[in-house]
């Protein structure tokens, strides 16, 4: 027993090497930084996935007046929205997980030049930093757009005090996003090879930057018209830096089809996938082979997995907005006798889901498109007192593409 006690008191026996990677031995080379930024992208899955039969899409799809449901969703009626609402918390948590992972990467990159054990190339350092700034900006934009105010987290949480950051004010979330994207646009590549499809690019940064600037300009239009005009001009300049995107050769319906993902109109989209074998649809994703990385669209077609859920379908206001003969009608909606859809199903995102496994779809959610950029640029031109004919021409580019197979005129008058 004495020998056992003597051996048990030997502190050296407690000094064991970790069985897995730890931070002190990580963030040392290109591959490890690639894996770290991949982990930040992975958390976007938490926004677009099946989510244990609790998809979060109604949080941003139902507050407007385009889609509705026969069920009861708090963000459509704006009743019963409380802090314990699970799906609101899901998006909130996912957003801050992306921000947290981006902040860790940015901290490690800042420390790398003074650490002789780190061997990362200049190119990888630039690209990964640009991606971290882009992803942090995307989440800050989403938080501002959904909540208006939320804590602005620009650094890693290292102590309890950092968890009590107060809510942002006015456009502080957008301010940070614009600053981050301005830097990201100088770091990100023009494009990626096929093995890295879906990673943020320079033009994606300019597109999101311009969008944030237009939103901030709209917010300040009454209270600070001078700043608003400056932001509209800055947005136009950002949009003008997008030179490789085009509507040419991209049909309207291509932007919602699995068969035409990552086309020339796409600036940024989430890259959905499904496992070739069994997929654990109950676990969120960290790029692990057993978890879900698919997009979920069952809230539109009332797939079997949407147990007791009521599908989303177009409002009468949206239906009435389509002119007779508009070719987009058949691409967006379909009449149905199924009483759950109130006569019309919204099929825009579900006509071509691609191969599916369990509840998963390969059809990528499109986050930023060039048509969006053209319409935002037209708004910026008009709101800043620019040339009306230029703004109408931008709108007509989108209108012409949408009506290329229809009988309605493609152009409105420039008069």
Domain containing 66 — which CATH number?
1.25.40.890
According to the model, what pLDDT value does residue 67 have?
A: 94
Q: Quick one: angle between helices 30-42 and 86-111, nearest 10? A: 160
Sorting pLDDT into bands at 50, 70 and 90, what band is 6?
low
CA nearest to 148, candidates 136, 140, 137:
140
pTM of the model: 0.92
pLDDT score of 196 more than 90: yes
pLDDT score of 268 more than 50: yes
According to the model, what pLDDT value does residue 9 have?
A: 65
- Measured between alpha carbons, how far is residue 319 from residues 110, 342, 345, 396, 409 in Å? 52, 12, 11, 21, 19
Average pLDDT over residues 61-77: 88
347: tokens are: 């099929």
The answer to whether residues 209 and 267 touch, using CB atoms and an 8 Å cutoff, is: no
Average pLDDT over residues 186-199: 96
Average pLDDT over residues 306-317: 88
pLDDT score of 277 more than 70: no
Average pLDDT over residues 391-400: 91
Which of residues 278 and 79 earns the better pLDDT score?
A: 79
Which of residues 163 and 99 earns the better pLDDT score?
A: 99
Look at residue 313 and give its three-state secondary structure. Answer: strand
pLDDT digits (tens, 9 = 90+) for 207-247: 999 999 999 999 999 999 999 999 999 999 999 999 999 99
On whether residue 147 sits in a domain, the answer given is yes
- Measured between alpha carbons, how far is residue 299 from residues 67, 159, 306 in Å? 11, 40, 7
On whether residue 60 sits in a domain, the answer given is yes
Cross-strand partners of 197: none
> How large a percentage of the chain has pLDDT more than 70?
92
Average pLDDT over residues 317-339: 91
Which of residues 320 and 82 earns the better pLDDT score?
A: 320
On whether residue 117 sits in a domain, the answer given is yes
> How large a percentage of the chain has pLDDT more than 90?
65
Poorest-confidence range of 213-217, 324-328, 403-407? Answer: 403-407
According to the model, what pLDDT value does residue 186 have?
A: 98
According to the model, what pLDDT value does residue 353 have?
A: 87
pLDDT score of 415 more than 50: no
Sorting pLDDT into bands at 50, 70 and 90, what band is 412?
low
Question: For all residues of the chain together, what is the average pLDDT?
Answer: 89
On whether residue 110 sits in a domain, the answer given is yes
pLDDT score of 2 more than 80: no
pLDDT score of 413 more than 70: no
DSSP secondary structure string for all residues of 175-221: HHHHHHHHHHHHHS-S---GGGTTS--HHHHHHHHHHHHHHHHHHHT
On whether residue 40 sits in a domain, the answer given is yes
pLDDT score of 31 more than 70: yes
According to the model, what pLDDT value does residue 223 have?
A: 94
Number of domains in the chain: 1
On whether residue 204 sits in a domain, the answer given is no
Average pLDDT over residues 127-155: 96
Farthest-apart Cα atoms in the chain, separation? 99
Q: 147 is in which domain, residue-wise?
A: 27-188
According to the model, what pLDDT value does residue 404 have?
A: 72
């Amino acid at each position: 027993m004495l020998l056992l006690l003597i051996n048990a008191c030997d502190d050296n026996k407690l000094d064991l090497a970790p069985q897995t990677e730890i931070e002190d031995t990580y963030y040392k080379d290109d591959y490890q930084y690639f894996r770290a930024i991949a982990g930040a992208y992975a958390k976007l899955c938490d926004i677009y996935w099946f989510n244990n039969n609790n998809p979060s899409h109604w949080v941003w799809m139902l507050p407007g007046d385009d889609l509705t449901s026969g069920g009861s969703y708090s963000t459509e009626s704006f009743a019963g929205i409380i802090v314990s609402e699970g799906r609101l918390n899901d998006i909130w948590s996912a957003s801050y997980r992306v921000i947290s992972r981006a902040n860790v990467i940015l901290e490690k990159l800042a420390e790398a030049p003074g650490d002789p054990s780190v061997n990362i190339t200049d190119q990888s350092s630039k690209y990964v930093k640009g991606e971290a700034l882009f992803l942090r900006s995307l989440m800050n934009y989403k938080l501002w757009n959904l909540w208006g105010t939320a804590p602005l987290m620009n650094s890693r949480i290292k102590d309890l005090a950092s968890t009590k950051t107060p809510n942002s004010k006015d456009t502080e979330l957008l301010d940070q996003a614009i600053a981050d994207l301005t830097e990201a646009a100088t770091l990100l590549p023009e494009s990626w090879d096929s093995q890295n499809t879906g990673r943020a690019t320079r033009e994606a940064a300019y597109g999101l930057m311009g969008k944030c600037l237009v939103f901030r300009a709209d917010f300040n239009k009454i209270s600070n018209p001078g700043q608003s005009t400056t932001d509209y001009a800055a947005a136009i300049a950002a949009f003008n830096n997008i030179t490789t995107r085009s509507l040419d050769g991209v049909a309207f319906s291509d932007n919602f089809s699995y068969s035409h993902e990552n086309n020339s109109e796409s600036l940024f989209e989430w890259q959905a996938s499904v496992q070739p074998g069994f997929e654990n649809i109950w676990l969120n994703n960290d790029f692990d082979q057993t978890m879900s990385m698919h997009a979920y669209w069952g809230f539109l077609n009332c797939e079997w997995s949407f147990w007791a859920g009521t599908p989303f379908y177009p409002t009468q206001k949206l239906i009435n907005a389509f002119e007779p003969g508009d070719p987009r009608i058949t691409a967006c909606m379909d009449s149905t006798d199924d009483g759950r859809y109130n006569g019309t199903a919204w099929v825009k995102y579900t006509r071509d889901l691609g191969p599916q496994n369990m509840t998963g779809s390969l059809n990528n959610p499109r986050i930023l498109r060039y048509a969006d950029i053209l319409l935002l640029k037209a708004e910026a031109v008009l709101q800043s007192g620019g040339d009306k004919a230029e703004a109408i021409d931008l709108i007509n580019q989108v209108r012409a593409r949408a009506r290329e197979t229809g009988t309605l005129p493609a152009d409105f008058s420039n008069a």
